[in-house]
Structure 1
Amino acid sequence: DTRIDVIQPMYNLVKRQAEVEILPMCASEGILPVCYSPLGGGLLTGKYGDGRTGRLTEDDRYARRYGVESMHRAAAELTALAHEVGTDPATLAVAWVARHVSGPVPILSGRTPEQIAPSLAAMRYVLDDALYARLCALAPTPPPATDRLEEA
């Protein structure tokens, strides 16, 4: 008898495909989603809007994965919203991942204490319903897992 207790899907504000089937399955089956890439390869930290470099400028795979203009627009809007509410974009991005009803645990990483501090702050950040909804509106919700969109 095999039981799956934990899975590791990619999940972040601009890569939301896990919302279609994976996170609902986790919620219904008592599986813990431990999500990687909550900062979208650094896109959701605001650093690329500032002209800094990183994975998206140095690694072709990340550049392709996060090269969509709408993702960069969402990242810029996230940064503006973070400044409006007085926090770091990374804090909001990680708190958004953790706020999903399935109870994900974001995987946090950084090369320096300064890089990881905003992500760690997200674990204590209270993301109310109104702010969560505003963040959700920054990027499209994935379509349902069916080719019968007329039934959705």
Structure 2
Amino acid sequence: MPSSLTLFKRLEKAAPRTRTALEDLLDAIPWNEDGLIPAIAQQHDTKDVLMMAWMNRTALQETLEKMRVCYWSRSRQRFWRKGESSGQVQWLKEAYLDCDGDTLLLIVDQQGPACHTGRKSCFYHQLDSEGATIASAPDMDPEMLYGAPSS
């Protein structure tokens, strides 16, 4: 099993189109103490950053195999297939791992809002030196997504 430092240092110098076996890459990812890695979802056509969630090895493997995004819910301690309760599915278009292997970028086709608040993106608190401004309104009432008010 290659160490993450060794594998990712080697890949820094690799020529474009160099392939690495998925199992070797998964073995080298520096999963956190809970066996997770952060995953950022970005809409493929608009490039909007939609959300950040967590994946474990199994969720990442399922996502790559089925092309439907699956996360690990830390609060529920179970797999969370985006859209399973809201209908707002994320279809994987492309997946990238950053240079040191500790963050995923998922290029997705998000069906409807990504955020549990009914907004397109979870990133709607716009910050400046004086505070924060709500930058977008919900596209959909959260009660329509889940049948209950958002928390």
What TM-score range do you get, normalising by the shorter chain?
under 0.3
Higher helix proportion = 1
More strand per residue? 2
Q: Which has the larger radius of gyration?
A: 2
Q: TM-score, normalised by structure 1?
A: 0.27
